[in-house]
Structure 1
Amino acid sequence: MRAPVLAAVALMLVAGKSDPLAGRVAGAPVRCINLQQLNGPEIVDSQTILYRQSGKRIWKTGPVGECVSLRPFDTLIVDVYGGQLCRNDRFRTVSNGMSIPSGSCRFRDFTPYDKVK
């Protein structure tokens, strides 16, 4: 009885979730982004990670190749060197309730998405 109820709630949550990039236009991808004014990361799915910048810009990235451990609601552990996050920097994930991180994955380029005026 519990499983069908949980599945129904999960479907309602997914269906009600809007596209965070809706109403935004993609710019040219860059190799690195500054971390000073960013909020995030937010794992959207197995290929999408978002960083929000001051409410006006969202940076979209993801893993180079496949990263099987990348799932929404997991925690991203990022290896940061200096004040920037760059393509090929490594990250790992930790699932809720777990203490051992996944294997390393690497970031691809970062694409800015700005609101359409």
Structure 2
Amino acid sequence: MYRFILPAMLLCAGSAALSSDHGYAARAAARNKAELDTALAGLVPGKPQQCLDSREPYATQRIGDTILYTVSRRKIYRADTNGGCNGLDRGDAIVTEQFGSQLCAGDPIRTVDLTSRIPSGVCTIREFVPYTAPR
């Protein structure tokens, strides 16, 4: 009798854990979308670019699998990643490997935990979409 009850209980517990994880992922995605909408409010997307001049001063902001490169209040570059940088949400350091003076789509980006210095993920940027304030 116990041979059948214990596996059934474990199956129910496992499916409950998976369904609760789905709810967390949906809430995180909604939170990230709202944060992106707020950060890019009032700005108009432009033509996607393959590269970003790394000599231009900018601040970075991470939102989910997206990195925002802020040049000014009137110009922000949005860079979506392929989703392999697991440490972006936690605030891990971004280490870029670029070839030349530009950060380009396809260049590898690594995330590193600041405390332990252990790499937490590797991803690439798809493209840079400039968002500018309308004139």
Task: Give the TM-score normalised by structure 2.
Answer: 0.65
Instruction: Tell whether the 8 Å contact from 1:44 to 1:72 is kept in structure 2 after alignment.
Output: no
1:52 to 64, 70, 83: 70
Structure 1 pair 38–62 and aligned structure 2 pair: CA distance change class (3 A): farther
1:43 aligns with 62
More helix by share: 2
Structure 1 unaligned blocks of 5 or more: 1-13
What is the deviation of 1:37? 1.6
2:17 aligns with none
2:39 aligns with 20
Higher relative contact order (CA 8 A, sep 6+): 1
Q: RMSD of the alignment, in Å?
A: 2.1
Instruction: Tell whether the 8 Å contact from 2:104 to 2:125 is kept in structure 1 after alignment.
Output: yes
1:61 to 69, 79, 84: 79
Could you tell me how far apart the structure 2 residues matched to 1:65 and 1:96 are?
20
Judge which range, 33-42 or 84-93, deviates more: 33-42
Identity %: 34
1:33 aligns with 52
Structure 2 unaligned blocks of 5 or more: 1-30
Structure 1 pair 90–111 and aligned structure 2 pair: CA distance change class (3 A): same
Q: Which runs of 4+ in 1 moved over 4 A?
A: none
What is the deviation of 1:63? 1.1
Could you tell me how far apart the structure 2 residues matched to 1:42 and 1:72 are?
12
